[in-house]
Amino acid sequence: MFLARRPHTARLLFSPRRTASTQSQPLRSLRTTAKWASTAVLASVVGVLGVGTVIFVHDAFTYQDRHVNRVPVSPLALHPERGGPKNLPIVHVQVDDDQDEENKRLTEKPRLVIVGGGWGAMGVLRKLRPGDYHVTVISTDTFNTFTPLLPSAAVGTVQVRSLIEPIRKIIARLRGHFIQGKASDVVINDQLLEVQIVTDGRHEHIYVPYDKLVVAVGSTSSTHGVPGLENCYQLKTISDAQAIRRRVMDNFELASLPTTSPEERKRLLSFVICGGGPTGVETAAEIHDFCQEDIFNYFPKILREEVSIHLIQSREHILNTYSEEISKYAEKKFQRGNIDVITSARVIAVTPTSVLCSIRNPDTKVMEQHTIPTNFVLWSTGIAMNPFTQRLCDILPNQVHRKAVETDAYLRVKGAPKGTIYAIGDCATIETSAVDHFMELVEECDKNKDGKIDFEEFEDMVQKIQLKIPMAESHLSKVRELFQLYDSDADQSLSLNELMVLLQELGRKITALPATAQVAAQQGKYVGSLFTRLARHKTEFETTKIPQSQQDEATSKPFKYSHLGSLAYIGNSAVFDFGKFSLMGGLAAMYAWRSIYWNEQVSSRTRSMLMIDWIVRGIWGRDLSRL
Ligand SMILES: Cc1cc2nc3c(=O)[nH]c(=O)nc-3n(C[C@H](O)[C@H](O)[C@H](O)COP(=O)(O)OP(=O)(O)OC[C@H]3O[C@@H](n4cnc5c(N)ncnc54)[C@H](O)[C@@H]3O)c2cc1C
């Protein structure tokens, strides 16, 4: 068959038609190229003209001189009356309350005051319906910060402006009001929030009245009593990220000077991160990436040999709240990148030039003291109570938690009149102990009043506990087994002592929710939806005369957290812990990590800016200027 075809092939090869076509090939290619090039040029011109026209039309209709004459403002807004226990100005009327009909209508609605402008507050605002409440947000910062990308901002992988969104823009949908200030106290009986504001450099205090108050002030960093923390950086806010970036750049510039001694250069190039949780790990990874991808390309080569990154962790592994598999993966990745992971170590003190720590010798198991010379220390070892939260706990009864204000299952602050103060996010913790409800539970469930709880009564009690402490649900699934386990005298009933032991041990088994954006956002959304439902049922409550203290139960179920997984960036790769399974990987995982955070942005503006930042970094690298 092959032989039979040969003459035909030969004819084709030497036919005059084939020769002509071969000769015209370059010409044809040229013509095709010219055709595509002219199409591309034409398309670009049309595109540029199109975009230009859109921008022109947008500008023509956007930038107009708006003359506003005689804006109605209540005299009470400009000269608030004084009152309350400290005789401070009380903001009964806001400056923009009377400016139009819609704002005026809102003054008749319940006054909802939200303290804080972080993840929790954003969750509430997202779920509120316009027109239901007279909303006021009080925050120390005028913007919301996307905290998970602060480590990236600290080395310039993304710009700080890409992580913030002005609160005024976020509350515009609800026609809300904003006061930049610091909540400092609450007068529970008069429902007044005391706020410290700064005017002309002077601190003044005002009262803001509320019908409902949401406390979402976040947390501060825990110190663990370590001396010298004033020599450390923190990474909680935008200004922290800016300060870190400046110090990191300063260190590299100083280390490059000819007058810098070798020892001093080593110290300047030594970066110490205390805390092996997600923030510490991500910051170490970002500093490492910054060195590898940018610093080493533009700074003297000698720096390459002398840069050191030390990550100090008190536990045996970094990322210890993630699965062991993830911790080990991250540790190996850091080892390969020459990041010095120091586990089972405790920081003893921080000085302006070094970190003193004790590290357990893996062979002798003895703690040995080490000094790490450094000019940069990040302190990221957990959270502590915000001063305002502390004040709230001080004035309320039975608030004894060390790190947060305790709430019930509806996120209402315990000890405050029900339905008035709610707390969400890092500053709050949901009660985990049913012991506080002991008497109430016995009263409700001991139907025959014999001072004992039989199995039938216990079944009823379990349901009531689940409503009060939803996090206990998984520990109460095997009711019969539980009953028999604590019925130590096997008399088919639980004495009050046996019941008390059961409730105490149950409380110990429940772990509090972590202080994460995920928890804060879910709690915020829960409270926002709860308030929306309350507003919807307002007339119903008035006719049925359901008191405020019972309205939450009447409209909603208790808050239930659903864990969507934890993720962390570990340097051009990322790890995902979904509880039942984990994912670890390189660039693909990093893109998944980025997509998740990109999707979580509060506005399309920050979404666009983030995308631009990542593209700019990919093409031109990080900005090395020290501003
Ligand atoms: C660097 C970093 C990375 C993180 N990464 C992740 C992550 O990847 N995933 C995750 O789930 N969580 C992450 N977290 C944790 C997460 O940011 C917090 O759990 C979350 O911000 C808590 O939300 P919040 O609303 O309670 O408080 P915040 O978001 O901290 O907001 C508190 C707000 O209250 C304001 N405020 C404080 N005090 C007062 C006052 N007295 N009066 C008025 N306003 C006040 C502040 O200005 C701020 O606006 C990270 C945290 C940090 C610092």
pLDDT at 22: 54
pLDDT score recorded for residue 8: 47
Å from CA of 184 to ligand 1 middle: 18
Taking the centre of ligand 1 as the mean of its atom positions, its distance from the CA of residue 604, in whole angstroms, is 21
CA dihedral 332→338→342→347, nearest 10 degrees, is -140
| pLDDT value of residue 23 | 57
Q: What is the mean pLDDT of the chain?
A: 92
536-592 pLDDT, tens digit each: 999 999 999 999 999 999 999 999 999 999 999 999 899 999 888 888 888 888 999
Pocket lining: 278 vs ligand 1, CB cutoff 6 Å: yes
Ramachandran region, residue 199 (left: φ > 0; alpha: ψ -120 to 50; beta: rest): beta
Other C-beta atoms closer than 10 Å to the C-beta of 406 total 22
Does residue 195 line the site of ligand 1, with CB under 6 A? no
Residue 208 CA neighbour count, 13 Å, CB half: 30
> Average of pLDDT values for 23-37?
85
What are the tens digits of pLDDT across the range 251-301?
999 999 999 999 999 999 999 999 999 999 999 999 999 999 999 999 999
CA of 147 relative to ligand 1 center, distance in Å? 7
H or E element at residue 405: strand 405-407
- Of ligand 1's listed atoms, the one at least distance from the Cα of 514 is 19
Ligand 1 mean position to 165 CA, how many Å? 14
Q: Is 162 in the pocket of ligand 1 (CB under 6 A)?
A: no
CA distance 488 to 492: 9
- Quickly list H helices, 190-293: 238-255, 262-268, 278-290
- pLDDT, mean of residues 412-416: 97
The band of 1, judged by pLDDT with boundaries at 50, 70 and 90, is very low
138 CA closest ligand 1 atom index: 43
Distances (CA, A) of 17 to 12, 27, 47: 9, 16, 42
Angle at 577 between CA 575 and CA 580, to 5 degrees: 145
Task: Give the whole-angstrom CA distance, residue 483 versus residue 493.
Answer: 8
For residue 535, pLDDT over 50 is answered with yes
Which has the higher per-residue pLDDT, 365 or 300? 300
Ligand 1 in reach of 176 Cβ (< 6 A)? no
CA of 283 from ligand 1 middle (Å) equals: 17
Secondary structure (3-state) at 142: coil
Q: Name the pLDDT band for 6 (thresholds 50, 70, 90).
A: very low
How many angstroms does the Cα of residue 126 sit away from the middle of ligand 1? Answer: 17
* pLDDT value of residue 14: 42
Which pLDDT does position 11 carry in this prediction? 43
* Ligand 1 center to 121 CA (angstroms): 10
Question: Mind listing the domains of the chain with CATH numbers?
Answer: 1-43 (no CATH), 73-140+181-221+382-432+517-557 (3.50.50.60), 229-381+565-620 (3.50.50.100), 433-510 (1.10.238.10)
% the chain with pLDDT above 90 = 83
| Neighbouring-strand partners of residue 576 | 567, 583
Query: 52-106, pLDDT tens digit by residue?
Result: 999 888 888 777 776 677 888 988 999 999 999 999 999 999 999 999 999 999 9
CB 224 within 8 A of CB 432: no
User: What is the pLDDT, as a whole number, of residue 61?
Assistant: 79
Q: By the 8 A CB rule, do 255 and 269 touch?
A: yes
Q: How far is the CA of 119 from the centre of ligand 1 (A)?
A: 6
Q: Is the CB of 277 under 6 A from ligand 1?
A: no
Q: Which atom of ligand 1 is nearest to the CA of 218?
A: 27
- Of all protein residues, whose CA lies closest to atom 26 belonging to ligand 1? 425
Of 308, 265, 260, 312, which Cα lies nearest the Cα of 287?
A: 308
User: Pick the residue with more confidence: 25 or 231?
Assistant: 231
Query: Cα torsion at 208, 209, 215, 217 (round to 10°)?
Result: 0
Site to substitute for ligand 1 among 113, 114, 115, 119, most atoms within 8 A of C-beta: 119
For residue 611, pLDDT over 60 is answered with: yes
Looking at residue 201, what is its pLDDT?
Answer: 81
pLDDT given at position 579:
81
How much distance in Å is there from the Cα of 166 to the middle of ligand 1? 15
Cα-based angle 451, 460, 428 (whole degrees, multiple of 5): 100
d(CA 598, CA 610): 7
278 Cα nearest atom in ligand 1: 5
pLDDT surpasses 60 at 12: no
The string of pLDDT tens digits covering residues 127-168 is 999 999 999 999 999 999 999 999 999 999 999 999 999 999
Residue tagged 């005024």 (tokens): 168
Quick check: helix, strand or coil at residue 185?
A: strand
Q: How many residues does the chain have?
A: 627
pLDDT beyond 50 at 4: no
With a 6 Å cutoff on the Cβ, whether 240 touches ligand 1 is: no
Distance from the CA of 383 to the center of ligand 1, in angstroms?
A: 10
The 10s digit of each residue's pLDDT in 214-259 is: 999 999 999 999 999 999 999 999 999 999 999 999 999 999 999 9
Given the CA of residue 236, which atom of ligand 1 is nearest to it?
53
What pLDDT shows up at residue 107? 96
Q: Give, in degrees to the nearest 5, the angle at Cα 146 between 144 and 147.
A: 115
CB 171 within 8 A of CB 125: yes
What one-character DSSP code corresponds to residue 311?
A: E
- Looking at residue 27, its pLDDT comes to 86
Distance from CA of residue 162 to its chain's centroid? 15
- pLDDT of residue 328 exceeding 80: yes
Closest residue CA from atom 27 of ligand 1: 218
Write down the ipTM of this complex: 0.99
> To the nearest whole percent, how much of the chain has pLDDT over 70?
96
Q: Could you give the CA distance from residue 333 to residue 289 in angstroms, rounded to a whole number?
A: 12
User: Do 621 and 294 form a contact (C-beta atoms < 8 A)?
Assistant: yes
Does the beta carbon of 314 lie inside 6 Å of ligand 1? no
Q: How large is the average pLDDT for residues 415-425?
A: 97
Residue 20 confidence (pLDDT) above 60:
no
Residue 233: predicted pLDDT: 98
Closest residue to atom 31 of ligand 1, CA basis: 118
What's the 219 CA to ligand 1 centre distance in angstroms?
7
